[in-house]
Structure 1
Amino acid sequence: MTERVALVVGGGPLGRSVAEKLLALGYRVAGADRKPEGLEQLPAQVTRIVGDATDPEAAQRIVADAVSEVGAPSVLVNTIGMYGMGDALTATPDQFRQMMEVNVGPALWLTQAVVPHMQSAGGGSIAFVSSRFGTDPEAGIAAYSLSKAALNHLVVVLNHELRASGIRVNAVAPQLIDNPTNRTFLPAEVLDHATTPDQIADQLVHLVTESGSPVSGAILPAYGF
């Protein structure tokens, strides 16, 4: 048994791939998702925790359950997020609020919950999933782009605040991931240039493990070709 513990939040294809790769590296892994069915495809060795990390109190419970069941995480990877279209002039308060609550909120709430455990252990590593549109916005995805820009800013702020504690914070920024949701509305010629969940998971695992130890405060481009 290893003492290295990872918490992976989000049970979709990306979260599943991250969990599998961390297991292969010898980590004990807890996986969290807001619905039990979101955890069904995780490997059997992963401890499953149901909780909605958009809720600050639920995020605290997710981390507490992980600590109780597998140990204090030295690694946190948050993969949950959502995409939404709409221009700035027609954006509604509900759309804006939802994008911020899903794309930024869990990153902050989970970090608040896990950092005391990492500080007690003398360090740790955290990674989020951003987007190219957080740094290179385009017309028609205003609220989404703003939420990812806020997430990027959070990475930089956390790097400044946590580096002295030995805690690294980074994000991977895909342009487009080839997943079941995107296949429902995007044409095949667009998806031909998308990255796969496995490719993005490779970058996330690199950032949170020893091979990424020199890197903190980075938004890693992973745009595909």
Structure 2
Amino acid sequence: MNTRIAIVAGAGGGLGKATVLSLYTAGLTVVAVDRTEANLKDLPATIHREIADATDPAAAAPLLERVVATAGAPDVLVNTIGAHAFGGFETVRPQALSALMDVNVGAALWLTQAVAPYMRRKGAGVIVHTGARPGVEAAAGAAAYGITKAALAHLGRVLDRELRPHGIRVNVILPELIATAANQAVLPAHLLARAATPEAVADVITSLVRDATAPDDRVLIPLYDD
């Protein structure tokens, strides 16, 4: 039986690395994608590596061509790319909002556009994008972040509606907060108290993609306790 092939974008970050290792342990062939080779140096040597900036609209299609040439047509795409910004609505500036949209929404759209043709030809596929709770529940103090994550949540619904007839399922996970090293360096302890570990979130992602035919009508997957 052929091994399923998974692309993990943002593989150099805390959640990305955890997801690469979780999927690899589950038996998938994993292609780790990040902007620099240095970000991927700690991964096992048997993990495929590709260097690309997925926020660049021109980068996604050539990336997929390289993945197909070296590893094969993908069955799974996991997008862990994301950026955060603090500040209320009065602090939002056009350039900053545009940059955040490029990361939090643009990468998801360009990667999905690039991977979808290969999954359509297979008649199956799973796509998971990393959203956030502020994208579905309004919160003060991070207006631009919430706006862009809300756009990603809606994009996930649109993608699932358009791709589900082709056998491709799209999910957007909604963690409240992830205790990555980057977050631990800048966030206070009281916020991190309820944060999920990258490994726990990665295990949820793996459970979503393990069976490409698993019936699941929920596009948005909350990963927090009320």
TM-score (norm 1): 0.95
Unaligned runs of 5+ in 1: none
CA positional deviation for 1:152:
0.4
Name the CA distance, whole Å, in 2 between partners of 1:127 and 1:145.
Answer: 19
Over aligned residues, Cα RMSD in angstroms? 1.5
Name the CA distance, whole Å, in 2 between partners of 1:53 and 1:211.
Answer: 24
- How many residue pairs match? The answer is 225
For 1:190-205, what aligned pairs fall within 5 Å after superposition?
190-205=191-206
For 2:130, the equivalent position in structure 1 comes to 129
1:5 aligns with 2:5: yes
Native 8 Å contact 1:171 1:204 kept in 2 = no
Native 8 Å contact 1:168 1:217 kept in 2 = no
Name the CA distance, whole Å, in 2 between partners of 1:79 and 1:4.
Answer: 19
For 1:23, the equivalent position in structure 2 comes to 24
Distance 1:31 1:58, change over 3 A: same
Name the CA distance, whole Å, in 2 between partners of 1:5 and 1:185.
Answer: 35
Deviations 1:67-115 (Å, cap 9, x if unpaired)? Answer: 1110010000000100001111221001110111000001100000000
* AA of the residue aligned to 2:143: A
For 1:70, the equivalent position in structure 2 comes to 71
- 3-state DSSP class of the match of 2:6? strand
Native 8 Å contact 1:156 1:217 kept in 2 = no
Name the CA distance, whole Å, in 1 between partners of 2:120 and 2:28.
Answer: 19
For 1:129-168, what aligned pairs fall within 5 Å after superposition?
129-168=130-169
* AA of the residue aligned to 1:140: G
Name the CA distance, whole Å, in 1 between partners of 2:222 and 2:213.
Answer: 15
Name the CA distance, whole Å, in 2 between partners of 1:112 and 1:177.
Answer: 27
Name the CA distance, whole Å, in 1 between partners of 2:191 and 2:223.
Answer: 16
Distance 1:88 1:157, change over 3 A: same
For 2:42, the equivalent position in structure 1 comes to 41
- 3-state DSSP class of the match of 2:59? helix
* Displaced runs of 4 or more, over 3 A: none
Unaligned runs of 5+ in 2: none
